[in-house]
Amino acid sequence: MSKERTVTEIDQPTTASGEAPRGPGSGVAVEAAKRRTFAVISHPDAGKSTLTEALALHAQMISQAGAVHGKAGRKSTVSDWMEMEKARGISVSSTALQFNYRSAGTYSEPTDCVINLVDTPGHADFSEDTYRVLTAGDCAVMLIDSAKGLEPQTLKLFQVCKHRGIPIITVMNKWDRPGRSVLELLDEIGERIGLVPTPLFLPVGIAGDFKGILRRGTDGEPAEYIKFTRTAGGATIAPEVHLDPEKALATEGEDWETAAEESELLSATGQDHDPQRFLAGETSPVLFASAMLNFGVRQLLDTLVDLAPPPRGRDDINEQHREVTDDFSAVVFKVQAGMDTAHRDRIAFMRIVSGEFERGMVVTHAQTGRPFTTKYAQTMFGRDRSTVESAYPGDVVGLVNATALAPGHTLYTGKAVEYPPIPQFAPEHFAVLRATSAGKYKQFRKAIDQLDSEGVVQVLRNDVRGDASPVLAAVGPMQFEVVTARMTTEFSVETQFDRLPYTLARRTDAESAVELNRQRGIEVFTRTDGALLALISDKWRLQFIQKEFPKLTLEPLVATAD
C-alpha cells in the first residue's frame, strides 16, 4: 500500500528563541551534545549566502528568504550586512547565525538542537578570514555548483578542512539549472580530493529539471521519494510530498527508475554512508539541492543534526587536552566592527570550547594574564543581536567592545589554558595607504589600528615610511577595497592607495634585515605582532638573494596546508 504524506509550512519544525532547552539533569555535557557548529565553504557564486538564508527559513527564524528571483525583487541576504556585500551580491565578511531546530529524525529519533552556522566570506581574496572561521567549526558543508563542479577556491578550503580533521558534508547546489550528471560529479570528488562520496539522497530528474529527491534506504529500509513543489520565487518553504517507491514510479516513471538504478550502482561500489568513515574524514555524505528554490534544504538540516559531530575538546599549545566538561575556555576567531552603525562598537566572536559561559563572569585573557569581564555578551543573527545569559561548548558568542581581544586569543577560567594561535596567510598584495586630508590624521591612525586588530589586513611599518604612510599587506586586492569603504563610512576618512611593486613576503630577522635593506627590490618592515617581514619584488629576485647571501634568514610565512 502506498504511503503518502504532505509536508507544508504549517507543520515545519518549531523553534524557540534565546537559550538552548534546559531541564532536570542537564549539564555541560548534555548541552554540548545538542550543539552542531559548522561552516559553509564554497567557490564564489556557488550559492552560499542563499543557502544560509534557506537554512534560516527552514528553521523558521525568518518568514521569507532574502534572495529571490528577479532583479527588481532581489533582496540582500540576512547574513550579508555590509553595504559592499549588498551592492555586489557577494560575501566579504564572516557572520554567525544561531537558531534552534527540531530535526525530523531522518537517521535517528527527532532531536532538538542548537545550530551554530558560521558563514564564511565567499570571495577568494578573503581566504584568511575563512581559515579563521573554520577554526570555530566542528563540521563543514562543502557547497558545489552542479554545473561547474569542484573549483579552485573549494579545493583550497577543502585542504584546510582536511588539515584540521574537519568532516565534510557535500551539497550539490543549483540542481534546478542545467549542469553535469550525478555520476560525473561524484567521480570528480573521488578523483580530485580523495574523499569517497556517499550520497544520502539522489536527485529525481536531470539537472535543470529538478522534481525531487530519492532518499536512499538504510538497514534494509526501502527508498523514499520526496517530491517538491515550487513556491513563488523560492521565497517560502517548498512543500514536500513523501511517496513510497511504488507511488514514485507511477508518478515519475523513467526519472525515478534512473535515480533508483544509480543508487543500486553506488551500493554495489561501496558508496553507502558509514558513520565511522565519515568522522574519520574518509568519506563525504552527499546531498542534492536548490537553495534558491528551497529544495533539499530541510534534508541538509536533518543531516547535520543526525550526522555532524557535536563539540569536542581541544589540545592547547602544550598538547594538554581540555574536555568540553572542563572549566570554561573559548577561542576568539573573528573580530568585527561596524556591525552597529549607531554605536560603532567592536565585536569579538568567540567559540566556546569547554565549560559553561555565564554573562558577566570574569575570565582570564591568556595572552596578557589579565582579568576580563564579559558583561556585554550577545548572540548574533546576521546583523541583529540579543543578549545571551549563558552558552555552552559549540556556541558562538559576541563580546562587545572587547578591544584587548584579537583572532587566536584564548579566554578561560580555572586551570590555565592557551590554544594554538591562528596562523596568518602569506600576503601577495601590498600598498601604501594615505589620508587625503592632513586634518584627519588622528581618525586615520585610529582606523588603521582598529582594522589591523580585526585582521582585515596586515599592517606593516618601518622608519623610512613612518606612521603616516603605513603599508597594508593583503591576500587579495579586494581587501584594500574593504579598507577604503570602511575608512569612509565608519571614520569619515577619505584615503588613497599607492600600490607597491612587491609580490612576495618572507620572514627575516634583525641581523639579516641590515643587508636586505641594501638590496634593490627589497624592503623590510615590522608587522604589528613584531615579526620582521622582507617584501620582495618577485621570485627571481628572491632566488638571486638566496644564492648570493645563503646565510640570510628568508623563511616562508605560515599559510594554509597545501
Q: Which residues are annotated as a binding site for GTP?
A: 119-123
- Kind of pairing between the strands at 370-373 and 112-119: unpaired
Which residues are bridge partners to 140 per DSSP?
39, 168
Three-state secondary structure readout of 376-424 = CEEEEECCEEEECCEECCCCEEEEECCCCCCCCCEEECCCCCCCCCCCC
Name residues whose C-beta falls within 8 Å of residue 561's C-beta, 6 or more positions apart in sequence. 159, 160, 162, 163
User: Cell digits for 79?
Assistant: 547574513
Residue ranges at the known binding site: 119-123
User: Cell digits for 70?
Assistant: 528577479
Question: 29: part of which helix (H) or strand (E)?
Answer: helix 28-34
Interatomic CA distance for residues 306 and 197, integer angstroms? 18
| Cα atoms in the Cβ-side hemisphere of radius 13 Å centred on 217 | 11
User: Cell digits for 413?
Assistant: 577560567
Burial class (CB in 10 A: 0-12, 13-18, 19+), 551: exposed
Measured in Å, how far apart are the chain's first and last C-alpha atoms? 54
Name residues whose C-beta falls within 8 Å of residue 543's C-beta, 6 or more positions apart in sequence. none
Interatomic CA distance for residues 445 and 427, integer angstroms? 22
Task: Give the closest residue to 391 by CA, choosing from 421, 359, 422.
Answer: 359
- Kind of pairing between the strands at 532-536 and 504-508: antiparallel
Interatomic CA distance for residues 378 and 494, integer angstroms? 32
Interatomic CA distance for residues 12 and 21, integer angstroms? 19
Interatomic CA distance for residues 243 and 192, integer angstroms? 35
CA distances from 458 to 118, 425, 432, 529 (A): 23, 10, 12, 10
Q: What share of the chain is helix, strand, coil (3-state, %, to 5)?
A: 25, 30, 45
Task: Give the closest residue to 493 by CA, choosing from 506, 501, 484.
Answer: 484
What one-character-per-residue DSSP string does 431-480 give?
A: EEEEES-GGGHHHHHHHHHHHHHHTSSEEEE-TTT-TTSPEEEESSTHHH
What one-character-per-residue DSSP string does 45-98 give?
A: TSSHHHHHHHHHHHTTS-SS-S--SSTTT----TT--SHHHHHHTS--S-EEEE
Radius of gyration of the chain from Cα atoms?
25
- Kind of pairing between the strands at 458-461 and 370-373: unpaired
